[in-house]
Amino acid sequence: MAVGNIAVTVRLPLRVRVRELLDREQVLGPLFVTPALFLLVLLVAYPFCMALYFAVSNAFIGRPSHFVGLRNFVNLWQSDAFRQTFQNAFVFTGSAVALKLVLGISLAVLLNQQLWFKRAIRGAVLLPWVIPTALSTLGWWWMFNSLYSVVNWTGIHLGVMDPPGPNWLGQKYYAMTAVVVVNVWRGLPFFAITILAGLVSIPRELYEAAEADGAGPVARFWHVTLPLLSPVLAIVVLFSTIFTFSDFNIVYVLTHGGPINSTHLFATLARQVGLESGQIGQGAAISLYLFPVLVFVVWVHLRFVRRQAY
């Protein structure tokens, strides 16, 4: 302010100046984004960059490492365990995601009907997802145990199995079946609840119009429900595919990758090679082997969802 020919500067209190500074969008926006950006860099970007570095080096615990290019990725194909793991990952993911998709749609349609104790049933469906994975898998380990198997006891008493029943965790195909069953049991609530949310959002008028045109339950599901659910299904399948490919807890607790590498996945083999054997470079290469494939899958799914939305 100017009094006569003398300019007088009024100094505002610090609290007022800070408040005025925070009222500016160009200051407040970066201030809110900075903590999230810091966490992303610390917890995601840094470990990912370190994994990339180890994957192209001959890193071994306690020794200096050198750049070796893509040699780790090429050398992996000389390992019988890796080739078996590569096959296991696709069998495990394909069968588990397909079962979760079919059962999830069926369960969501059932939960969308008028049922007694509907809220209690919906809450009970979430139980497998709420219980810690390692704890629930230990329960399944006991149920599949060769000596105390509840599954075998039930099957024998129902007459569908001959005594003493299969050795679920000790034979190749039975072990893969067991880990797929546990993964489906664990991931089914995610499918069911997400698809149920999509079902609830479909307007009832569309079903009434289809019914007025003479469409039966199957036709209404095929021509009304399924097209409107396709964006939701694409997102659910995308997330489940990524999580199933990278599953670790279920296989590690149930079988440790055995018998004879028949249930190893990328995560369990990477742990065995990278941490137990000390070959960090090889372990990082195993864990990153499908990264380009998964990036492509994510890109295709997102393009599909964007087309459905617009």
CA distance 94 to 201: 29
Angle, alpha carbons 100-294-130 (nearest 5°): 40
310, pLDDT greater than 70: no
Compute how many other C-beta atoms are within 10 angstroms of the C-beta atom of residue 293.
Answer: 10
pLDDT for 211? 86
CA distance 241 to 65: 34
Q: Where are the extended beta strands (E) located within the chain?
A: 2-3, 6-7
Structure tokens at 299: 């890109």
Whether the CB-CB separation of 265 and 88 falls below 8 Å is answered with: yes
- Cα–chain-centroid distance for residue 211? 37
Nearest to 251 by CA among 148, 178, 145: 178
Structure tokens at 69: 């290019």
Question: pLDDT tens for residues 11-43?
Answer: 777 888 888 888 888 888 888 999 999 999 999
Question: pLDDT tens for residues 234-283?
Answer: 889 989 998 998 889 999 999 998 898 999 999 999 999 998 889 999 99
> pLDDT grade, residue 5 (50/70/90)?
low
140, pLDDT greater than 80: yes
284, pLDDT greater than 90: yes
The residue whose two tokens read 């997400």 is 194
Structure tokens at 124: 């009970």
Amino acid identity for residue 35 in this structure? P
pLDDT for 160? 84
CA distance 239 to 204: 28
Query: Mean pLDDT, to the nearest integer, of 135-153?
Result: 87
**Cα–Cα distances in Å, from 5 out to 8, 11, 90?**
10, 19, 83
Verify cis geometry, omega within 30 degrees of 0, for the bond prior to 164. Answer: yes
Find the range with the poorest average confidence among 112-126, 178-192, 225-239.
112-126
CA distance 85 to 19: 58
CA distance 49 to 58: 16
CA distance 118 to 259: 42
192, pLDDT greater than 70: yes
CA-CA-CA-CA torsion sign (188, 191, 197, 198): negative
